[in-house]
Amino acid sequence: MALAAGAVIAIVGIVAPPVAYGLQSHVAGTSSYGVGVTRCTFVDPTRNVLDYATSPPSVLARQRTLVTEVRYPTLSRSPNNSEITNAPPAQQADGFPMIVFAHGYDVTPGTYLSLLETWAEKGFVVAAPIFPDENSTEVRQQHADTEADIYNEPADLAFVTRQLLTDSSTLSASCPLVQGLVRPSQLAFAGHSDGGDAVGLLAYSTGRDPQGVAYARLRQGLAIRATMIFSGAEEGGAPYRAEPSRPPLLLVQSANDQCNAPGEGLELYGAIAQGDKWFLELLHAHHLPPFDGEDRAAFDVVATTTTSFLQFALSSTLSTSSLNAAGNSRPLVGRMTRGGAGPTIAPYLDPPRCGFH
């Protein structure tokens, strides 16, 4: 599910702790904030970054450095409503729900800027690590297919999540601005393409990662209340199984997706045996444009439906019927079903053609 190279995100330093605003009482998903953004660097010294330009892959670095973009609600506003670097966060006594987002192959989180900002505007913290081997800069530097690193990314997501929870609970030099920002009992994971596959592995796989650690162990203790997989597939060969807690799942699949065949999305959806799952089919869209904003109609459906899903799953401010209505509000663009095996989608027979469009 490779994507063409996207914009490169500049990596900047960490700032001093934020100036606190007064405590607010907004409910996530029901209010509109400005968007602040900071970048924090987390280093996992227990795992390697690989060089896929060699055969077999050799060790490129003996630690995984995960620069993470964190977008969050702020009461500050820019003249053009763009995000504000290191803006003082809005404050809530118990913090905000957090979405951890996994980007696809050969891009960066900035590719999905409009969608990530949409969630932050509605009162969610959105953390998006830049994966060491699958980001666009590293793909170009290695001149190699680095997609096999996807199996290391669930541990990246779990590591970054735990670091942010720690830094939210205590003042930290690594990410001081998030102190008090995250509500640890309300976590969601979301990802697109390879990132969606990584989220699926973390949330549902019964297998093990390349270090021999069970994916179930990686997710253990994380209060996952929602999972969103965009253009994803079942990976790794081990069966997928819903956890006993069965957090709600939203799967989004484009009917004309030539990178992630619609059948792969349906197979993944069917493998997760639970009732509280939804399948949003984008009737005419391709792989990336519904998520980066290039296909405006499809993007609007994705933005509306995902926000409604997060309200339903994390904030309990939306009913099931209202969520279903949101997913079916533009029937010529997208349709949503709940439970079962998902819709009937004709297989896409043309040769694969990945890229932005």
Contact 336, 283 (CB under 8 A): no
331 prior amide bond cis, ω within 30: no
Mean pLDDT of 209-228: 96
Residue-level pLDDT at 17: 32
Tens digit of pLDDT for each residue in 309-321? 999 999 888 899 9
Q: 3-class SS at 308? A: helix
The angle at the Cα of 249, spanning 32 to 325, to the nearest 5 degrees, equals 60
The angle at the Cα of 187, spanning 312 to 269, to the nearest 5 degrees, equals 65
Does residue 97 belong to any structural domain of this protein? yes
Does residue 73 belong to any structural domain of this protein? yes
Does residue 346 belong to any structural domain of this protein? no
Q: Give residue 37's domain range.
A: 26-338
Does residue 347 belong to any structural domain of this protein? no
Count Cβ atoms below 10 Å from residue 225 Cβ, excluding itself. 20
Does residue 354 belong to any structural domain of this protein? no
Contact 106, 291 (CB under 8 A): no
Q: Which residues contact 24 (CB under 8 A, 6 or more apart)?
A: 75, 90, 91, 92
Residue-level pLDDT at 25: 35
Mean pLDDT of 110-122: 97
Does residue 111 belong to any structural domain of this protein? yes
Q: Is the pLDDT of residue 356 over 50?
A: no
Side-chain-facing half-sphere of 338: CA atoms under 13 Å = 13
Does residue 266 belong to any structural domain of this protein? yes
Contact 318, 327 (CB under 8 A): no
Please give the tally of structural domains in the chain: 1
The predicted model scores a pTM of 0.90
Contact 39, 12 (CB under 8 A): yes
Domain of 249, CATH number, reads 3.40.50.1820
Residue-level pLDDT at 288: 94
Does residue 230 belong to any structural domain of this protein? yes
Tens digit of pLDDT for each residue in 244-267? 888 999 999 999 998 988 989 999
Residue-level pLDDT at 258: 86
Q: Is the pLDDT of residue 23 over 60?
A: no
Mean pLDDT of 79-86: 91
Q: For tokens 């197979």, what's the residue?
A: 267
Q: Output 5 or 341, whichever has higher pLDDT.
A: 341
Distance CA 122, CA 313 (A): 14
Arithmetic mean of pLDDT over the chain: 88
Measured CA distances, 37 to 40, 88, 165 (Å): 10, 10, 17
Residue-level pLDDT at 16: 32
Work out the angle between the directed axes of helices 296-310 and 113-121 (0-180°, nearest 10). 40
